[in-house]
Structure formats: C-alpha cells, structure tokens
Amino acid sequence: MRKAFLGALLVFAVGPLAAQEQVGPGREVLRQQVLERFTQIFIREAGLTEDQRAEFRQTQQRHFRERGRFAQRRRGLLRAIEEQMRPGVAADEDSVTRLVESIVALGEEMAAAVRTEQEEYAGFLAPVQRALLLIHYERFQRQIEGVQRRGMQRRGNRPGGPLSQGNILPN
C-alpha cells in the first residue's frame, strides 16, 4: 500500500517536475509534498523519537535543497556540453574542457556534501537508522529515475541521455 501511494505520488508530483526546467511556485509545492511524504515514511519506519524527528526534518530539508541546487547546476553543465557537441558543428575544445572540469569539480562538491550530511545525521541517528535512510534515498532515486524515463519515452526523447540522469539525491 505504501509503495503504491508513493509511486502514485511520484507520478503525479515528479513527472511534471522532470518535464519543466524552470522552477515555479507550483513546482515547489509539489516538491515539498513529495519531500514531506518521504519524510513521514522514513520517520515511521525508522522509529524516530520526537527529538530525532525535529532534527531530521531540519537537516533533511536543508540538504534536499542543496541536492536540488547541485542537480540544477549539473543539468546546466550537461546542456552546455550537449550544445557544444551538436552534430555538424565543431566543438570549442577550450569550452568543452572547462565544462568537463566543472562537472568533475561539481562531483567532488557533491561527494563532500554527502559526507557532511552523513556526519550531521550521525550526530542524532543510530547507525541502523542511517542505513535505513540511505536505503530509502536509493529507492526514492530509482523511482524518480523511472518516472523521468517513462516521461521521456512518452515525449519521444531517448532515455539514458545525460539530461535524464540529473540526480537530486546522493548515489
């Protein structure tokens, strides 16, 4: 039942999000609804105490926004690379080099952010709760990617391209 509800919520909330590039007020409301549902499920399944709940919500919201900013930057860089790599147009090698270096640097920033996030969670979650959180994040990411893939297929885009892999959650 929980998986069906989360799946339906993802189709409703994330499908339109994946199709839009600009952030609008409706998109943010949907994003918050998805985040809240994810949070409720994790809190219940991890058996968090009241103190843990408050700290988790605060930490998670901050890091969720940060992951969204990383994903937005990554999508922008990938779009710029795709623009450089158009068939029949010579790519500017200096520009491509800078873009690739920027993606590598962004990956390093993202890894550091995940380490920081996990250090914060370690301050108030038990190891088993942290492991459960990682499992939930992974499942959630796979569901989002599936929704994005299906949306791209409906629109006739080829799945698996760089823009379809704009992860918002840690890998």
Sorted by where each begins, the domain ranges of the chain are 2-165
Asked whether the predicted pLDDT for residue 10 surpasses 50, the reply is: no
What predicted TM-score, i.e. pTM, was given to this entire model?
Answer: 0.66
Residue of 125 and 158 predicted with greater confidence: 125
- pLDDT per residue over 136-163, tens digit each? 999 988 888 888 788 778 877 654 444 4
Averaged pLDDT, 19-40: 74
Query: Given this model, what pLDDT does residue 20 score?
Result: 42
% pLDDT > 70, the chain: 77
* Chain centroid to CA 25: 18
- Could you tell me how many helices (H) and strands (E) the chain has, helices first? 5, 0
Which pLDDT band holds residue 31 (cuts at 50, 70, 90)?
confident
Query: Given its phi and psi angles, is residue 161 left (phi above 0), alpha (psi -120 to 50 degrees) or beta?
Result: beta
Answer for the pair 150, 138: CB distance below 8 angstroms, yes or no. no
Where does the chain show beta strands of DSSP type E?
Answer: none
